[in-house]
């Protein structure tokens, strides 16, 4: 017992030494604890596990206070555990509070509703409405797309309309690892989506709310910008920079921006807000300094900071006050407060305060790629520039012009590499792809956007008030054309994009945890972050691509061929389905037809394919029409197959050797991926989503079968 006490005392002394050396960094872990609690709630499956996490976090708090209550490390650990418990409880409470009615099945509805928001999707030619139905029992909000030929005048926020629409429940995650719209819809209380069949204006918006007026201004400004620029891509990007409206960007240009690693330029966040605030501050300071009286009597820096703060808030409201923009605005206001107080402008403590504010107000934002990307970028930049060696290298000194420019260029490239390394795990986890040349493309794209495109666009809008903006719009268009050329060139270069299949969430958590450990500590302790970072990266890279992918409705199926290509069951599948299946397998959406494979045999109603995996041959059988196959033939085909997939209920007598994934099974499991090996591995959407409130299974509605025609061709 004495030996144990001595060991415990020695451990406490060592921990206290570390905590003392890192005392300035300890507060930075408070938002990390909050993130841990929120992330654990999303990752863990059900109420029992969430409660267990809360109990473990509480035990950590009590244990830290009992064993080290009088030490720095004990107090720090107790605060961390308390933050983790608060994060888990906060997101659990928010999810319960967001509960609202949802559409149970596809149906046609006619309703009277109030328009909450209007979003013109210029590239698609549609308009997206978020409406609040007036009838009881309907969802709090519905998202309805209106085609151009069904639009009527006066569809503004606050207007009352009668809509007849075909609506459906929020789309569940189609396959494991894909984007979960149902989760986002749950927290926004969107209980269904659909397409309008007819729209009738009952009453125009009489007194628009402040948010409604801002939304209308945003729409008019976006339309004006797109009208002033010739190219659809240039106009769409210019509108995105000014108002945050990305729906006017053509798909091919948006894809080029993603492939080149420049997509972050399209989302209004820290870069854009910094440019606006910095430009307003500089302009205010220079103009006020022209007056000797003002310069001598007043603190012009304080006045310029106030002007920058007002500009940042106005820009945030104009662009829709999305969470990333609000986060950036909060950070900018903290930086401006630091400048006003004579403190260092941007530190990790400022970033931590901004993260705390956002997570306390919008804890669900942690699960989104936008929050993760924006905070990872700013943390990597600040951590790099706060490092003593980097600070010594980047510091100004008396040297030649060439050396100064070379040092600045090296700093820009090094910062770009740090950002790309920080963003790579997040991009690969959410989008399954990452542009490999992004660091070098950003060296040109970021200065071009910040110091050329945005100032030119602002001046063009200003001169449009006098009808003199034409030349400036031409210059803006040329600069945007250069940006698009850079994106297309970098995105189409050989090996420009890294693709991986859906990685395990635990591997992603290891990489994020290791990265935070590296960034937030300052002593040699930080090196321990390399271990989880490397382990998570190796785990993600070692995750094999699935051999079979099936969507949750059983309609679409993709097989991976021995040479890594994908073969699809229904060649007429849309772009969204193709992209989803390709991302889940870590491949480009270039599909073969399943029946074209030499190992496949297909009829009009059934398709079978043989795959050699794990030292054995697997036969996959799928139905592809609602026609009822003769019972004897179907039973024989099932018995000869290892896996049977169908978008309808199959007879109980259909017993394949390993798995029957018909509508009954898929309604419980959701989309599935299968890796054929020894043994085979099955991953389901239901396993990933657990018993979170948005993951409740929809009712099973068997797809009706049609009788087979008299002379149905057999398998060939």
Question: Vertex 139, ends 138 and 144: CA angle to 5°?
Answer: 105
Q: State the Cα–Cα distance between residues 86 and 38, nearest whole angstrom.
A: 8
Is the Cα dihedral 492, 493, 495, 496 positive or negative?
Answer: negative
User: pLDDT confidence of 713, banded at 50, 70, 90?
Assistant: very low
- Mean pLDDT score, 184-206: 91
| Highest mean pLDDT: which range of 124-138, 210-224, 697-711 | 124-138
The answer to whether residue 716 scores a pLDDT higher than 60 is no
Q: What is the pLDDT of residue 701?
A: 46
Q: Residue 405: which residues within 8 A CB-CB, separation 6 or more?
A: none
- Two tokens, residue 347: 């530190």
Q: State the Cα–Cα distance between residues 222 and 229, nearest whole angstrom.
A: 11
- Mean pLDDT score, 633-641: 92
The answer to whether residue 435 scores a pLDDT higher than 80 is no
User: pLDDT confidence of 80, banded at 50, 70, 90?
Assistant: very high
Q: What is the pLDDT of residue 146?
A: 92
Q: What is the pLDDT of residue 693?
A: 92
Q: What is the pLDDT of residue 700?
A: 45
User: pLDDT confidence of 33, banded at 50, 70, 90?
Assistant: very high
pLDDT tens for each residue of 296-312 = 787 888 888 888 888 88
Q: State the Cα–Cα distance between residues 389 and 713, nearest whole angstrom.
A: 74
- Mean pLDDT score, 41-50: 94
Q: What is the pLDDT of residue 124?
A: 66
User: pLDDT confidence of 703, banded at 50, 70, 90?
Assistant: very low
Q: What is the pLDDT of residue 109?
A: 92
Cα 530 from chain centroid? Answer: 25
- Mean pLDDT score, 572-588: 86
Q: What is the pLDDT of residue 714?
A: 39
Task: Let me know: does 570 contact 624? Beta carbons within 8 Å.
Answer: yes
User: pLDDT confidence of 54, banded at 50, 70, 90?
Assistant: very high
Q: What is the pLDDT of residue 345?
A: 59
- Mean pLDDT score, 18-47: 93
Q: Looking at per-residue confidence, does 587 or 198 come out higher?
A: 198
pLDDT tens for each residue of 589-619 = 888 898 889 999 998 889 999 998 878 899 9
If you average pLDDT over every residue of the chain, what do you get? 85
- Two tokens, residue 575: 């772009």
Is the Cα dihedral 539, 545, 547, 551 positive or negative?
Answer: positive
pLDDT tens for each residue of 88-100 = 999 999 999 999 9
Identify the H or E element spanning 248: none
| Highest mean pLDDT: which range of 246-250, 271-275, 439-443 | 246-250
Q: Residue 6: which residues within 8 A CB-CB, separation 6 or more?
A: none
Task: Let me know: does 195 contact 145? Beta carbons within 8 Å.
Answer: yes
- Mean pLDDT score, 78-82: 95
For the chain, the C-alpha Rg in angstroms (whole number) is 28
Q: What is the pLDDT of residue 144?
A: 94
| Strand 591-593 to 548-550 pairing | unpaired
At residue 550, the 3 state secondary structure works out as strand
Least confident interval from 268-272, 289-293, 348-352, 491-495: 268-272
- Two tokens, residue 434: 């990452």
Q: What is the pLDDT of residue 262?
A: 82
Cross-sheet strand order for the sheet of 681-684 = 591-593, 566-568, 557-560, 548-550, 672-675, 681-684
Q: Quick one: what percent of the chain has pLDDT higher than 90?
A: 36
Identify the H or E element spanning 322: none
Q: What is the pLDDT of residue 211?
A: 66
The answer to whether residue 697 scores a pLDDT higher than 70 is no
- pTM, two decimals, is 0.87
DSSP letters spanning 153-217: TT--TT-EEEEEEEEEPPPPPSSTTS--HHHHHHHHTEEEEEEEEEEEEEE--SS--HHHHHHHH
Q: What is the pLDDT of residue 538?
A: 95
- How crowded is the C-beta side of 449, counted as CA atoms within 13 Å? 29
DSSP letters spanning 562-620: TTS-EEES-TT--HHHHHHHHHHHTS-S-EEEGGGSTTEEE-SSEEEEEEEETTEEEEE
| Highest mean pLDDT: which range of 155-159, 249-253, 455-459 | 455-459
């Amino acid at each position: 017992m004495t030996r144990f006490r001595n060991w415990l005392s020695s451990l406490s002394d060592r921990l206290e030494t570390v905590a003392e050396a890192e005392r300035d960094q300890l507060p930075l872990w408070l938002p990390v604890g909050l993130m841990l609690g929120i992330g654990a709630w999303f990752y863990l499956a059900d109420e029992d596990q969430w409660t267990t996490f809360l109990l473990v976090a509480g035990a950590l708090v009590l244990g830290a206070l009992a064993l080290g209550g009088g030490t720095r490390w004990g107090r720090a650990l107790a605060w961390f555990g308390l933050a983790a418990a608060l994060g888990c409880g906060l997101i659990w409470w928010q999810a319960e509070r967001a509960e609202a009615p949802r559409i149970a099945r596809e149906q046609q509805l006619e309703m009277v509703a109030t328009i909450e928001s209007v979003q013109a999707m210029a590239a698609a030619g549609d308009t997206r409405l978020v409406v609040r139905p007036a009838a009881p029992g309907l969802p709090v909000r519905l998202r309805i797309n209106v085609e151009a030929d069904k639009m009527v005048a006066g569809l503004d926020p606050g207007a009352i309309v009668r809509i007849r629409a075909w609506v459906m429940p929020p789309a569940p995650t189609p396959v494991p690892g894909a984007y979960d719209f149902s989760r986002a819809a749950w927290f926004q209380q969107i209980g269904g989506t659909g397409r309008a069949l007819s729209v009738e204006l009952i009453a125009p918006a009489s007194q628009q709310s402040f948010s409604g007026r801002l939304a209308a201004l945003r729409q008019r400004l976006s339309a004006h910008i797109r009208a002033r620029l010739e190219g659809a891509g240039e106009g769409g990007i210019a509108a995105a920079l000014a108002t945050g409206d990305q729906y006017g960007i053509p798909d091919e240009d948006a894809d080029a921006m993603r492939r080149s690693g420049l997509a972050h330029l399209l989302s209004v966040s820290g870069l854009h807000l910094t440019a606006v605030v910095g430009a307003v501050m500089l302009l205010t300071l220079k103009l006020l300094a022209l007056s000797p009286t003002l310069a001598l009597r007043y603190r012009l820096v304080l006045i310029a900071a106030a002007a920058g703060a007002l500009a940042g808030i106005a820009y945030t409201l104009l662009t829709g006050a999305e969470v990333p923009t609000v986060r950036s605005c909060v950070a900018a206001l903290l930086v401006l407060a630091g400048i006003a107080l004579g403190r260092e402008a941007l530190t990790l403590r400022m970033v931590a305060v901004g993260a705390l504010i956002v997570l306390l107000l919008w804890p669900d934002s942690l699960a989104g790629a936008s929050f993760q990307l924006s905070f990872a970028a700013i943390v990597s930049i600040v951590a790099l520039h706060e490092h003593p060696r980097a600070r010594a290298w980047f510091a100004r000194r008396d040297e030649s012009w060439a050396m100064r420019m070379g040092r600045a260029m090296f700093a820009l490239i090094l910062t770009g590499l740090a950002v790309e390394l920080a963003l790579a795990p997040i991009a690969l986890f959410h989008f399954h792809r990452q542009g490999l040349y992004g660091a070098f493309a950003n060296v040109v794209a970021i200065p071009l956007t910040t110091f050329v495109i945005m100032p030119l666009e602002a001046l063009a809008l200003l001169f449009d008030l006098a009808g003199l903006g034409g030349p400036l719009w031409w210059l803006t268009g040329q600069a945007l054309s250069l940006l698009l050329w850079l994106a297309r060139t970098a995105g189409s270069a050989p090996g420009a994009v890294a693709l991986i299949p859906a990685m395990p969430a635990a591997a992603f958590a290891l990489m994020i945890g290791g990265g935070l450990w590296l960034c937030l500590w300052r002593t040699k302790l930080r090196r321990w972050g390399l271990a989880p970072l490397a382990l998570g990266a190796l785990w993600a890279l070692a995750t094999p691509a699935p051999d079979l992918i099936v969507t949750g409705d059983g309609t679409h199926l993709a097989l991976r061929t021995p040479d890594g290509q994908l073969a699809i069951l229904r060649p007429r599948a849309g772009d969204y389905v193709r992209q989803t299946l390709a991302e889940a397998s870590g491949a480009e959406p270039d599909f073969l037809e399943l029946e074209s494979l030499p190992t496949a045999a297909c009829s009009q109603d059934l398709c079978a394919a043989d795959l050699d995996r794990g030292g054995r041959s697997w036969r996959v059988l799928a139905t592809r029409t609602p026609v009822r196959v003769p019972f004897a033939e179907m039973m024989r085909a099932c018995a000869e197959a290892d896996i049977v997939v169908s978008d309808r209920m199959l007879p109980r007598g259909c017993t394949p050797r390993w798995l029957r994934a018909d509508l009954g099974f898929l309604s419980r499991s959701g989309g599935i991926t299968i890796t054929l090996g020894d043994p085979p591995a099955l991953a389901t959407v239901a396993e990933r989503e657990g018993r979170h409130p948005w993951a409740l299974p929809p009712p099973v509605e068997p797809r009706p079968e049609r009788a087979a025609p008299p002379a149905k061709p057999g398998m060939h």
